[in-house]
Chains A and B, each alone.
Chain A
């Protein structure tokens, strides 16, 4: 039996035929769409490396069946920049040296974008740390990550205020 899944991935409509319902969103992105920016860390929802946005909300793509998401809008790390212009969260991660090996970074960045969209943490480092606790970093770049999230939050709220 085949299942058809229609998704909008980074703004582009995609219709995929799946011959197996076991495919997770993570495996669909990496193996079928070759969007390998989203990383497979633990594959069990414990490390956050696979974080993507589904309809604007951050989730663990390893614990989601692709077939269940028919009609959803997916944003991955590949969809964040506008041409050569990096997203403010990406820029902040570079500016704050918020990584070492980089494996967890796409998940960290997508999680940070989700956190800022949620609007619960503001400029409070303790709330940022708590809000980012679903993303592990084995190089322990946490200090830089929190600084980067706070920087990006400030940049994005400035932009919003100017636009208002």
Chain B
């Protein structure tokens, strides 16, 4: 780990000023940043510790019913906040399917949005990586690419975004509140992360010094609370990143889907909202052939970036299963193994 300057400002304005310097980066819990620094993957000149900014630790409901999650709310606290888990069950399920209990106790909401890819070549300082060193090349292309992107990738980068939390947030139209030297602005969560194109080192729309201060879920997202799931295929039952994940939310009236929300994780450099699938579901019954058509639509543009063609049919199957699970209804209690595609489907063993 490189040496760095460490500052601990007491206001958001001071933090933004301190983080606008070249080479500066924000430190919240540090669960991803310190790991990256230990591997010399990132070498910030200055850490701006924002953990004392208590104004960012609140979960609030505004007059219009929107829920505002402060950037420093811990993942576990958000997932276990009973009102939040009741109204946004797929978000709570996604949070609880990520990392381990220790990490969820530390990791923050804002930090989750800004976590870096888990591409092994990005993590290995000896490998070529256009994200880490622009122009260096990409050792993942033609390398061990079985976990890499099938949507939105480029010749320069085939890495995926590892966040679980972001997937239902994208599905339910979350908004990110950002503060910088020139004031406050908002972007849709879906537009926060950039696709790699020819500049994979640019991962988000944030300008230097800009800070995520809150994430807002619109009141309208509550309409999906009775039929909302997040399912995640992992290489082991727990404490693993997604191979593919899917968030699904439905509003069902008299057997007909009135509204649908579908997003995928683990398939691209950002959470992948599947609007074509949503449009196809609206006005139709939640029947197998309809769900299958929606899954086909969601992956229509998909193509393998290497040894990962299997992720395309896997993602289709997971969308169908997530929609089936959502149609059956949100479980009254969080499943013992959150987001398991196996644990809460009647008749299927959890470790099958």
Known: A57-B105, A58-B102. A67 touches B6 (CB 8 A): yes
Q: Please tell me if the beta carbons of B336 and A126 are within 8 angstroms of each other in the complex.
A: yes
Mark A28-66 against chain B: 1 for CB-CB distance below 8 A, else 0. 000000000000000111001001000001111001110
Contact (Cβ within 8 A) A64 B106? yes
- In the bound complex, what is the Cα–Cα distance between A151 and B3 (angstroms)? 46
**Closest CB of chain B to A2's CB: distance in Å?**
11
Tell me whether A134 and B100 are in contact (CB under 8 A). Answer: yes
Q: In the complex, what residue of chain B is closest to A134 when comparing beta carbons?
A: B100
Contacts of A135 in B (CB 8 A): 100
Q: State whether B34 touches A65 (Cβ < 8 A).
A: yes
Q: How distant is the Cα of A10 from the Cα of B267 in the complex, in angstroms?
A: 45
Name B79's closest neighbour in chain A (CB-CB): A120
Chain B, residues 92-135, CB within 8 Å of chain A (1/0): the string is: 00000001111101100000000000000000000000000000
Which of the segments B25-33, B148-156, B214-222 contacts the partner chain? Answer: B25-33
Q: Is there contact, CB below 8 Å, between A111 and B6? A: no
**A131 and B101 form a contact (CB under 8 A):** yes
Which residues of B are found within 8 Å of A134, using beta-carbon distances? 99-103, 239
In the complex, what residues of A have CB within 8 A of residue B8's CB?
A: 67-68
- Closest B residue, CB atoms, query A127: B336
A60, A118, A120, A129: the one within 8 Å of B106 (CB): A60
Q: Measured between C-beta atoms, what is the minimum distance from A117 to chain B in Å? A: 11
Q: A45, B31: Cβ atoms under 8 Å? A: yes
- Distance in angstroms from B66 CB to nearest chain A CB is 27
Please measure, in the bound complex, the distance between the C-alpha atom of A43 and the C-alpha atom of B39, giving whole angstroms: 11
Which of A22, A43, A120 is B80 in contact with, Cβ under 8 Å?
A120
* Contact between chains at B106 and A68 (CB < 8 Å): no
B101 touches A68 (CB 8 A): no
From residue B11, how far is it (CB to closest CB) to chain A in Å? 17
A44 engages B105 (CB within 8 Å): no
Q: Give residues 85-137 of A contacting B (CB, 8 Å).
A: 111, 114-115, 118, 120, 124, 126-127, 129-135
Residues of the A chain whose Cβ atoms lie less than 8 Å from the Cβ of B350: 126
Is B1 interfacial (CB-CB < 8 Å)? Answer: yes
**Contact partners of A3 in chain B: CB under 8 A:** 6
Cβ-neighbour of B27 out of A65, A115, A127 (below 8 A): A65
Q: Which residues of A contact B35 (CB under 8 A)?
A: 44-45, 63
Q: Does B204 contact A (CB under 8 A)?
A: no
Q: A21-B6, A60-B106, A65-B34 in contact; A48/B337 too (CB < 8 A)?
A: no
Using a CB–CB cutoff of 8 Å, the interface residues on chain A facing chain B are 3, 20-22, 24, 43-45, 48, 51, 57-60, 63-65, 67-68, 111, 114-115, 118, 120, 124, 126-127, 129-135
Q: List 17 A-B contacts (CB under 8 A).
A: A21-B47, A44-B38, A59-B103, A60-B31, A60-B106, A63-B106, A65-B6, A65-B34, A67-B49, A68-B27, A68-B51, A114-B101, A115-B101, A118-B101, A129-B238, A133-B238, A134-B103
Q: Which B residues contact A (CB, under 8 angstroms)?
A: 1, 3-4, 6, 8, 27, 29-31, 34-35, 38-39, 47, 49, 51, 76, 80, 99-103, 105-106, 237-239, 336-338, 350
Known A-B contacts: A130-B338, A134-B99. Give 20 more (CB < 8 A).
Answer: A20-B3, A21-B47, A24-B34, A44-B38, A59-B105, A60-B31, A60-B102, A60-B106, A63-B30, A63-B34, A65-B49, A67-B49, A68-B8, A118-B80, A126-B350, A130-B238, A131-B101, A133-B238, A133-B239, A134-B103
Which 9 pairs show the lowest CB-CB distances between chains A and B? A134-B100, A21-B6, A133-B238, A126-B336, A133-B239, A57-B105, A59-B106, A134-B102, A127-B336
